[in-house]
Amino acid sequence: MHEKRHHSIHPATRRAAIALIPFLITAWVILYIFPERTGDWFAWPIQPAMTALFMGAGYLSGAYFFARTASTGDWRRVEAGFLPVALFAGLEALTTILHWPRFTHGHPAFIAWVGLYFITPWLVIGLWLLNRRGRNSEQPEARLRVPVFVRWILGVVGVSMAAAGFYLYANPDVMIAIWPWELTPLTARALLGFLILPAASEISLAFKPDWREYPIILEGQMIALALILLGAARAWADFEPAAAGSAGALFVAAMLFFLLANLAFYLLMQNAGRQRAGGPQEGGAAQIHSGPPNR
């Protein structure tokens, strides 16, 4: 009871999560179900459709994250995602400022976009601080520890992806030149927010030894990756002809690799948790949570 009390989510966090979900679901419907109607229904016209599909995948992943935030009672299960979400929202706000003339001013979707991205970074940071303030300073022992070498991999991959993402954000022309479908400076920077978000999440998770803090983040990432792959199959004609056999194939291979890697890691750890809950086991489970404790 003591542990649960000191790690329960503040009620304001649930209310904020519930309030954000309709915006994220609406964005997913517009961008992923009707990508050809962004000129009518979104904050700015997006071409080609693959850009809208990519962004829509991210919005459904976000809706899933906040739905789980609203339904779980344990702050630790979602904490690792909050600062990355604040960073993502801040980048989208900066993108809006940098490309202000490109938006459809006065459109309800633009008003919602501006309100969402100029408020959300501060809201999410405030909720993170509010929940951190209520935590017990003595952390309970992890029931199932993520191996140190896995956390190192997450950290290295996350830092590498984030560094590349910030470089491209500062130099969108480089991304436009190498990307497998057509981008503008606005859509390049908008997409980079969705790419830097999971990179920041990997960095955040690298500091978390307790497996309980991972599943919701990984599930959200797998939802986004699966939808991106489905979107690529749906909009393969949007890939530039020269890129369809090279950069396009590399893009699909990378998305598939990250999806399968996340899934394998997720299933391995879930299986280790079930084995541990059932008592001492031989083989993999014992190895999964062995190793030096986190300092």
- pLDDT tens per residue, range 53-108: 999 999 999 999 999 999 998 999 999 999 999 999 999 999 999 999 999 999 99
CA distances from 248 to 13, 182, 251, 275 (A): 40, 12, 5, 41
Residue 44 lies in a domain: yes
Residue 206 lies in a domain: yes
Residue 3 has pLDDT above 50, yes or no: no
Of the listed ranges 49-58, 197-206, 282-291, the one predicted with least confidence: 282-291
Q: Are 249 and 229 in contact (CB under 8 A)?
A: no
pLDDT of residue 295: 37
pLDDT of residue 134: 58
The residue-averaged pLDDT of 158-165 equals 97
Count structural domains, the chain. Answer: 1
d(CA 246, CA 241): 9
Residue 40 has pLDDT above 60, yes or no: yes
Residue 259 has pLDDT above 60, yes or no: yes
Residue 290 lies in a domain: no
Residue 150 has pLDDT above 90, yes or no: yes
Residue 146 lies in a domain: yes
d(CA 3, CA 5): 6
Q: Which domain covers residue 54, as residue numbers?
A: 2-281
Q: What residues contact 153, with CB distance under 8 A and at least 6 apart?
A: none
Residue 13 lies in a domain: yes
User: Residue 181 forms beta bridges with which residues?
Assistant: 239
Q: What residues contact 183, with CB distance under 8 A and at least 6 apart?
A: 51, 172, 175, 176, 191
Residue 56 lies in a domain: yes
Residue 246 lies in a domain: yes
Q: What residues contact 26, with CB distance under 8 A and at least 6 apart?
A: none
Residue 253 lies in a domain: yes
Task: Report DSSP state, residue 145.
Answer: B
Q: What residues contact 224, with CB distance under 8 A and at least 6 apart?
A: 57, 58, 60, 61, 194, 198
Cβ-defined contacts of 245-254 (< 8 Å, 24+): 246/180, 247/178, 247/179, 247/180, 248/180, 248/181, 250/180, 251/180
What are the tens digits of pLDDT across the range 268-289?
A: 999 998 887 765 443 343 344 4
Of the listed ranges 109-123, 181-195, 220-234, 236-250, the one predicted with least confidence: 236-250
